Amino acid sequence: MEARVGIVGAGPVGVVAALACAARGMRVVLFEAESEIDHSPRAATTHPSTLEILAGLGLLDEFQSVGLVARHFQFWDGVTKTLVAEFDHHSLRDETPYPYVVQTEQHKLSEIGLRRLSAIPSVQVRLGTGVTGVAQDGGSVRIEATGPGGPEEHSFDYVVGCDGGRSTVRKCLDVEFEGYTWPERFLVLTTSFDFRSALGCCERSYMSDPEEWTNLFKVMGDDLKGRWRAVFPARENETDEEAFSETSSRRRMHRLCDDHPMDLLRHRNIYRVHQRVAKAFRAGRVFLAGDAAHVNNPVGGLGLNCGIHDALELAETLHLVASGRAGKDLLDRYERRRRPLNIEYVQQQTVANKKRLEERDPRVRQANFDELRRTAADPQLHKQFLMRTSLIESVRKAGKIG
């Protein structure tokens, strides 16, 4: 009989996990606490290694059609507004069929995935149903949830917690979320102003500035007319009200570009940012994936990408064990592969990315710029750099961990 898998959370990781499990013949119930998908601006940058996964699930064409293809990314000196270095994913053309990133907002991936799931008979999607408890014995996992009709109980062979950074599943397992929270929050200002025409920057540009760095990138928006998002660090003692005020939004946008007309500002959002990794990714028949297992600052656009890689690895592992092609020992390989790779490729990288943007020491800043210029100018170093930032290197390394 097919394995029964309960997936908690219909964020992008839960939806991809559900599709990947269903594609391997498992019966899936996907629980989502909210009655609709959250549209707040979070992930957009989807790297080549993740595009390969989306292509394998038959999602890529639709995903790409509602986003934009960005072949390059740039580092700028935000103080002098000069370009420091540009990287071109085309140098990965012999390594991947997708030598570019796609910038599509994460809610679009969840919604595309949910539409596909609704057409699969072996999948049930339960929107508006929040999981409140998880308990297991040797043979199955029991889930307690509250749905539109009141309390529910379900039993599964395996459960996957894809329920985000505040994961109820992780808390039920009593697994520690090791790491720290940054003192400053990240402010996202969304505008319809075209920074490419105004500054000459590309659709994914990192502006280093010791006073206030910016991570600037373009998405298409739901109307496909194009939006730019500018991510800034909020001051440690800045309240939401101050960060969202007209005065501080104007100050930030004009620091980026004097010509920015304030009536083009569409949204203001603020996020607390963490670097944390769950002490364990597995407890018996229950697994953690995506933000439930690891969270990081968004500079470099790696968190969701890594979560989608978790989802695929887990679906394949559960399939091999449930179909009898591998013994239960294989279940531990999920954590052996995914946890150290998150630390090496996502935690360390995003901390370094943030440090590079905010560096205050003028000599270190210049040394960083010199290094970026040297790396971009040398074809071999250029490619090596992109192999790491695109997570292709981490996927290949995972394959070697038995």
Ligand X SMILES: Cc1cc2nc3c(=O)[nH]c(=O)nc-3n(C[C@H](O)[C@H](O)[C@H](O)COP(=O)(O)OP(=O)(O)OC[C@H]3O[C@@H](n4cnc5c(N)ncnc54)[C@H](O)[C@@H]3O)c2cc1C
Binding residues vs ligand X (CB under 6 A): 8-14, 31-34, 38, 42-45, 106, 130-131, 162-164, 168, 186, 188, 231, 271, 290-291, 298, 301-305, 307
CB of 91 to ligand X, least distance (A): 21
Q: How far is the CB of 59 from ligand X (least distance, A)?
A: 15
Q: Which of 162, 318 has the CB closer to ligand X?
A: 162
Listed in sequence order, the residues at least 6 apart from 45 whose beta carbon sits closer than 8 Å to its beta carbon are 70, 101, 103, 204, 217, 301, 305
Shortest reach from residue 229's CB to ligand X, in Å: 8
Separation in Å, CA 52 to CA 47, 55, 328: 9, 5, 28
Nearer to ligand X, 130 or 210 (CB): 130
d(CA 358, CA 369): 13
Q: How far apart are CA 281 and CA 170, in angstroms?
A: 9
CA distances for 310 relative to 100, 102, 119, 277, 280, angstroms? 21, 19, 24, 13, 14
In the complex, the smallest distance separating the C-beta of residue 311 from ligand X, rounded to whole angstroms, is: 9
At closest approach, how far in Å is the CB of 200 from ligand X? 22
Q: Is residue 288 within 8 Å of 338, Cβ to Cβ?
A: no
* Shortest distance, position 262 Cβ to ligand X, whole Å: 21
CB of 281 to ligand X, least distance (A): 13
Nearest distance, CB of residue 231 and ligand X, angstroms: 6
Strands of the 274-278 sheet, one edge to the other: 177-181, 274-278, 294-295
User: To 10 degrees, what angle do helices 379-389 and 362-377 make?
Assistant: 110
Residue closer to ligand X, measured from CB, 32 or 393: 32
Q: How far apart are CA 214 and CA 193, in angstroms?
A: 15
Pick between residue 14 and residue 365 the one whose CB is nearest to ligand X. Answer: 14
Whether residue 243 contacts residue 268, with contact meaning beta carbons closer than 8 Å, is answered with yes
Give 304 or 331: the residue with its C-beta nearer to ligand X.
Answer: 304
Contacts of 281 (CB under 8 A, 6+ apart): 287, 288, 289, 293, 310, 334, 335, 338, 339
> Least Å distance between CB 368 and ligand X?
22
How would you class 324 by CB atoms within 10 Å of its CB: exposed for 0-12, middle for 13-18, buried for 19 or more? exposed
